[in-house]
Amino acid sequence: MFDLFSDFFNDFGGFDVFMQPTVSKEEKKCPVCGHTYSDFRRTGKIGCGECYKVFRAPITETLRRVQPSVTHTGKIPSKSGEELKLKRRYESLKQELSAAVKNEDYETAAKLHKQIREIENEVKKS
């Protein structure tokens, strides 16, 4: 019974029911800087570029919980915003077109090609 409570409370901050620090299992460390995933969780900072590779899965899962996307999109300046949005849409459509052709989804590819041509014509008019 005691072990059940101890295990339960270990999930809430790493202390047992008597508030004594628990002994943790050997954690995976980054081979370059020596940081652990626990270091990232505690500080919110990565030790080096290699940490992204070593802790990719748990970091991605953590980011999914705290923000809507794990892809950085940045901010769009107000002055050139429409042009930048159009460029991003164009690039996205090109990638989708490539994937549709690769998957032999020619109906979708035709629709995407039409949208790409519309954007190209819009840019020519500007």
Residue-level pLDDT at 6: 43
Whole-number Å distance between alpha carbons of 109 and 59 = 35
Does one domain contain both 30 and 63? yes
Whole-number Å distance between alpha carbons of 24 and 7 = 12
Does one domain contain both 65 and 95? no
R_g of the chain, CA atoms, integer Å: 24
Does one domain contain both 61 and 97? no
Give me the number of domains the chain comprises: 2
pLDDT tens digits along 81-119: 778 788 889 999 999 999 999 999 999 999 999 999 999
Domain that holds residue 114: 81-125
Q: What does pTM read for this prediction?
A: 0.41
Does one domain contain both 59 and 94? no
Residue-level pLDDT at 17: 40
Residue 55 resides in a domain: yes
Residue 62 resides in a domain: yes
109-121: b (≥16 Cβ within 10 Å) or e: beebbeebeeeee
Whole-number Å distance between alpha carbons of 84 and 121 = 16
Residue-level pLDDT at 114: 95
Question: Which amino acid is residue 76, in one-letter code?
Answer: I
pLDDT tens digits along 38-80: 888 888 888 898 998 998 888 888 877 877 776 666 666 666 6
